[in-house]
């Protein structure tokens, strides 16, 4: 197992953060997201120590899209990390949590005028410019509000990380950023440097997600340093900051090859120093934006088994009380997961089963073909490494309420997101008055 705080107690129950998972399911209900605070903090410190030991000015910026709540903002702040937000909603969450605005990095390829005004008025630390229209709009708004925001220009270095095609973001054909190879990135930097309302601070790139080894990052470093040198030699301006984005992966199943984060970061920073020496440019401040690598293996999801369906010679389905409404990654990306039966982790003969959800979709499957002890109605299944993108991408599809999220540490469990009720699901519904009228014997005519 890769989940680094898994333990099993004398009852044969899964233990996370010092808490019996079966007792958590009974106390808080299922489905249930469970976050181990100690693992979360330990992961944060791995990145923080690696970057800061290389250069105290370097920054680790947590990618909020992986999992963000007001409580999460507090933890990230306490660990000394910055925060990457990609929408007005994420920015609002950070502001409500009292997160230091100067450590907020605002991303997004289609920020609205309202979102940019919120960013300007709150004083976020960096706004990452993604396209020409945004550059022009931000300049107009900054001048109108008498602000001078610090900006990065996001560029696409043309690297295709070996991940699912929907989560590649660094190649040339991407909705994100200015392309280097056609000269657009250089032109954007030149344009930003002429602005009287914007303060150009650096470059940003992001080459993909769920990257498990350092090679793509080292290639990105080489390409980005070459662009940095071109800017210096042609425009006479050094680039102070270089944001290499996120994408650091975690192993989900046994056959996921994985290079430890500490080793990856060491090799990336060594490549940076080598390129700085080769190209004779000033060493920039480095920023990385891990999300999944900080929260992913800190979380599990607990489900209760409602029934089992066996199709002889074909497949055995195990039905749980959640599904793609609380974890859409399998249906969306073909993601794979490990799991255990939380109420008897090592008990029983293994059999191949498919863990399926309760939603009205044939593709509503959480895990295809996993070996588990014989599963019975009432068992609690713990799906591992679900801290990233489970809650963040959850929906009310089929009008299912979203699960609660709890934080566990040293045997204590606390709610950080309440479970939704049916009343929560319909709270924004509105019925026009005319639909309340009774038809007093009249039949509705076909329209």
Whole-angstrom Cα distance, residue 445 to residue 290? 58
Catalytic residue check, 360:
yes
Is residue 31 annotated as involved in ligand binding? no
Is residue 48 annotated as involved in ligand binding? no
Give the 3-state secondary structure of residue 423.
helix
Upper half-sphere CA count for residue 222 (Cβ side, 13 Å)? 10
Altogether, the residues listed in the chain come to a count of 447
Is residue 165 annotated as involved in ligand binding? no
Is residue 389 annotated as involved in ligand binding? yes
Pairing of strands 315-320, 104-106: unpaired
Can you give 339-350 as a three-state secondary structure string?
A: EEECCCCCCCCE
Is residue 292 annotated as involved in ligand binding? yes
Is residue 108 annotated as involved in ligand binding? no
Whole-angstrom Cα distance, residue 442 to residue 307? 46
Is residue 196 annotated as involved in ligand binding? no
Whole-angstrom Cα distance, residue 354 to residue 359? 15
Whole-angstrom Cα distance, residue 411 to residue 7? 12
Q: Are 339 and 382 in contact (CB under 8 A)?
A: yes
Q: Which residue in 19, 73, 205, 360 is the catalytic one? A: 360
Rounded to the nearest 5 percent, the helix, strand and coil shares of the chain are 35, 25, 40
Is residue 258 annotated as involved in ligand binding? no
Whole-angstrom Cα distance, residue 191 to residue 150? 14
Q: Which residues on neighbouring strands pair with residue 242, listed in sequence order?
A: 203, 286
Whole-angstrom Cα distance, residue 281 to residue 272? 11
Is residue 432 annotated as involved in ligand binding? no
Q: Catalytic residue numbers?
A: 360
- In the annotated binding site for pyridoxal 5'-phosphate, the residues are 247, 289-292, 389
- In the annotated binding site, the residues are 247, 289-292, 329, 333, 361, 389
């Amino acid at each position: 197992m890769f989940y680094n705080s898994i333990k099993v107690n004398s009852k044969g129950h899964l233990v996370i953060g010092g808490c019996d998972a079966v007792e958590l399911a009974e106390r808080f209900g299922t489905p249930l997201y469970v976050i181990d605070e100690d693992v979360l903090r330990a992961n944060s410190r791995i990145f923080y120590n690696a970057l800061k030991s290389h250069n105290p000015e370097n920054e680790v910026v947590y990618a909020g899209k992986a999992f963000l709540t007001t409580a999460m903002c507090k933890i990230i702040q306490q660990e000394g990390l910055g925060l990457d937000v990609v929408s007005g909603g994420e920015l609002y969450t950070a502001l409500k949590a009292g997160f230091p605005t100067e450590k907020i990095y605002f991303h997004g390829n289609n920020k609205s005028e309202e979102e940019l005004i919120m960013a300007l008025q709150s004083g976020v630390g960096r706004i990452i410019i993604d396209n020409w229209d945004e550059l022009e709009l931000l300049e107009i708004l900054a001048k109108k509000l008498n602000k001078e925001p610090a900006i990065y220009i996001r560029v696409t270095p043309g690297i295709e990380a070996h991940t699912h095609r929907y989560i590649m973001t660094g190649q040339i054909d991407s909705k994100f950023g200015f392309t280097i190879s056609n000269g657009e990135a250089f032109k954007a930097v030149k344009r930003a440097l002429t602005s009287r309302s914007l303060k150009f601070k650096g470059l940003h790139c992001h080459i993909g997600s769920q990257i498990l080894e350092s090679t793509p990052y080292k290639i990105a470093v080489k390409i980005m340093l070459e662009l940095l040198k071109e800017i210096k030699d042609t425009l006479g301006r050094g680039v102070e900051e270089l944001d290499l984005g996120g994408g650091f992966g975690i192993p989900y199943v046994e056959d996921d090859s994985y290079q430890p984060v500490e080793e990856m970061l060491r090799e990336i920073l060594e490549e940076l120093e080598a390129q700085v020496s080769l190209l004779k440019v000033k060493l920039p401040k480095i920023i990385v934006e891990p999300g999944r690598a900080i929260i992913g293996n800190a979380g599990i999801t607990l489900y209760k088994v409602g029934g089992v369906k066996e199709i002889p010679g074909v497949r055995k389905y195990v039905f749980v009380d959640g599904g793609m409404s609380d974890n859409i990654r399998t249906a969306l990306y073909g993601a794979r997961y490990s799991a255990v039966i939380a109420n008897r982790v090592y008990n029983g003969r293994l059999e191949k089963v498919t863990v399926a959800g309760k939603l009205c979709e044939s593709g509503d499957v959480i895990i295809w073909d996993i070996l588990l002890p014989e599963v019975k109605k009432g068992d609690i299944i713990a799906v591992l490494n679900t801290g990233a993108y489970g809650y963040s991408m959850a929906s009310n599809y089929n009008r299912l309420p979203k699960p609660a999220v709890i934080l566990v540490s040293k045997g204590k469990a606390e709610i950080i997101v309440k479970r939704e009720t049916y009343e929560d699901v319909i709270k924004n519904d509105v019925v026009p008055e005319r639909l309340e009228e009774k038809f007093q014997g009249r039949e509705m005519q076909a329209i």
